Amino acid sequence: METKRHLIATGRVQGVGFRQFVAATARELDITGWVRNRADGSVEAVVAGTPEAVEIMIERTRRGPALAAVTDLKVGDAQGTFERFEVLPTV
């Protein structure tokens, strides 16, 4: 059974390698979906995978890479089918 979650991270999350961190973590955990910067300074992602992998992904995203400072991580349900994990352009 696949779990899908929509994530929005706020804080110091742009310009610190956050999207690359999320993408590398997704590849490590065999998660599909996408990540992108948003014009408001947040980072948004949709992640899909086993329930265990998605929970690990959420916890790692909450911490972020060394230079990031995540002040909030909103987690909601997501829809969609994904073949791989992608870094998308800013919206």
Nearest in space to 17 (alpha carbons), one of 89, 68, 72, 88: 68
Q: Which of 5, 19, 60, 84 is catalytic?
A: 19
Q: Is 37 a catalytic residue?
A: yes
In angstroms, the CA 67 to CA 80 distance is 31
Q: Which of 37, 60, 63, 84 is catalytic?
A: 37
Q: Is 5 a catalytic residue?
A: no
In angstroms, the CA 21 to CA 6 distance is 17
Residues noted as catalytic: 19, 37
